Structure 1
Amino acid sequence: MSRAPLRLAVVEVTRRRPHAPRYDAYVQTMVAQVLADAGEGGWAADRLSAGDLGVDDLLRLSDAADAIVVLGGEDIAPEFYGGGSGYVAEGSHDVVADAAQIALVRRAIGRGTPLLGICRGHQIINVALGGTLVQHLDDAHGLHRAADVPADRSMVGHDVAIEPGSGLAAALGVGARVRSAHHQAVGRLGDGLRVVARSSDGTVEAVEHRSAPVTGVQWHPEDRGSDRAQLPALLGRLRAAVASVRAVAHAA
């Protein structure tokens, strides 16, 4: 008898952005890519919208997930990391999504559920563990995003150096060419995290939890211009983490 496919919760901020249709259309392409790659990798993927569901329903609907991916989107509301409002290029906030995703990350770490955070999802991991954000990057050279252009044209390519011996290096090697579009970044690290990748200007590009199977990457492996091997490799690491968690549970 064949085993049921592993369940992957793919968690976005919101399903609809009527106030920003061009940005929303672009986000939809990235969500679709995650769902497609997950399907090709043998996952049964559940698409969940944190802002539409709220804390209780997001936790309930993701309860049976074997692994989780938290995707990109709007700025995290400053009150969740002790920041102030009125910062440069402040984006819109969805406090319902913030609270729900933070709760989801904390539960995943408590349970040992494998989790991957992408862009905002990477920042959510840090905030959930008590870390802070750099509210606006001084990015005069356009390393992290193309400014003053529509959202669907804001991605830029750049290199990141990945820490040898990290789980991320096992998936991607000790260096990677990535695609980014962000104006915020991880500041003070949250409890239990370590930095496993940086860009040439020192910006934190990836983190891993020291004891839980949780990784965050600041870039977008699901962007249509990215190296098409990156996202399947990261999803493969999630699958390996699920197998490891199950082996430990079986041995116990």
Structure 2
Amino acid sequence: MAPRIAVVEVTRHRPDRPAYHAKVQLLNAAAADAAEHGGWSVSRLAAADRTPAELLAATDDCDAILIMGGEDIDPRFYGGGTGYPGETRHFAVADAGQIALVRRALDRATPLLGICRGLQIINVALGGTIVQHIEEGLHRNVDVPIDQILREHAVRLLPGSSLRRSLGQAGISVQSAHHQSVDRLGAGLVPAGVAPDGLVEAVEHESAPITGVQWHPEAPDSPAEQLPLLLAALQSQLAEARVADPLAA
């Protein structure tokens, strides 16, 4: 039987932002397709469409979780204020549901990968904070149509990190489009990759199979092997967990 992965996006409905919604849906679909091609049985869910309890129930039998990108996290979840530059609409129900997924993954040692906003959800779920707005430049293109917002830059993967072992190299090229970043790291999280300007671009948990990348490995112009390798790492983590606890298989 194929292992089961939940691809959890923010929302399926953005009638006020059709171009942005189309871009996000393209990326979410690419991630789901990559998981299917990698041998996963995929459930695609929108966190804003369910209560946190319903989202937990819908993913209860999943072997891994993939939390996708999207809007800014509501600042109430990390003690921040509103009115910052570049602030987007907030989906507090989606935030709460995805935060609950991270905390359950930590409790159960369920493999979990967060992409872009997903990394920030991991950080906030574990008590970290967010830099609400970073200066324009390296991490996204500005004043361009949404289809051109992704920007290529380098990331250095840190020695000893699981991410460096998974991707098989010390330096990679990524596609990113974020205006926020991690600030104080959540409990148990350590940096796994940094950008040339020093921003943390990847995190992983020191003991649980939880990883976050700030870039978009599912983007069409990303190196083709990036997302498949990240998904394969989830399968390896799942296999290791089953060896450690055969009753969990």
Q: Same fold (TM over 0.5)?
A: yes
Structure 1 position 205 matched with structure 2 position 201: yes
Q: What SS class does the counterpart of residue 173 from structure 2 fall into?
A: strand
Aligned equivalents of 1:113, 1:85: Cα separation in 2:
33
Aligned equivalents of 2:147, 2:41: Cα separation in 1:
28
Q: What SS class does the counterpart of residue 145 from structure 1 fall into?
A: coil
1:56 Cα deviation from its structure 2 partner: 1.0
Structure 1 residue identity aligned to 2:48 = G
Please name the residue that 1:12 is paired with. 9
Structure 2 residue identity aligned to 1:13 = V
Could you report, residue by residue, the CA deviation over 1:11-42 in whole angstroms, capped at 9, with x for unpaired residues?
00001211111111111111111111111111
Please name the residue that 1:143 is paired with. 138
Return the TM-score normalized by structure 1.
Answer: 0.96
Equivalent position to 1:119, from 116, 130, 133: 116
Aligned equivalents of 2:213, 2:11: Cα separation in 1:
20
Please name the residue that 1:21 is paired with. 18
Structure 1 position 46 matched with structure 2 position 49: no
Return the TM-score normalized by structure 2.
Answer: 0.97
Please name the residue that 2:175 is paired with. 179
Please name the residue that 2:58 is paired with. 61
Could you report, residue by residue, the CA deviation over 1:125-150 in whole angstroms, capped at 9, with x for unpaired residues?
000000000000023xx200011222
Q: 5 Å matches for 1:90-129?
A: 90-129=87-126
Please name the residue that 2:72 is paired with. 75
Structure 2 residue identity aligned to 1:160 = V
Structure 1 position 34 matched with structure 2 position 26: no
Change (3 A) 1:34 1:88: same
Q: What SS class does the counterpart of residue 242 from structure 2 fall into?
A: helix
Structure 1 residue identity aligned to 2:16 = H
Please name the residue that 1:193 is paired with. 189
Structure 1 residue identity aligned to 2:8 = V
Aligned equivalents of 1:200, 1:165: Cα separation in 2:
19
Structure 2, gaps ≥5 residues long: none
Please name the residue that 2:227 is paired with. 231
Could you report, residue by residue, the CA deviation over 1:64-120 in whole angstroms, capped at 9, with x for unpaired residues?
000010000000001100111111111110000000000110000011000000000
Structure 1 residue identity aligned to 2:86 = A
Please name the residue that 2:243 is paired with. 247
| Residues matched between the structures, number | 247
Please tell me the root mean square deviation across aligned C-alpha atoms, in Å: 1.1
Structure 2 residue identity aligned to 1:63 = D
Structure 1, gaps ≥5 residues long: none
Structure 2 residue identity aligned to 1:44 = S
Structure 2 residue identity aligned to 1:11 = V
1:251 Cα deviation from its structure 2 partner: 8.4
1:166 Cα deviation from its structure 2 partner: 1.1
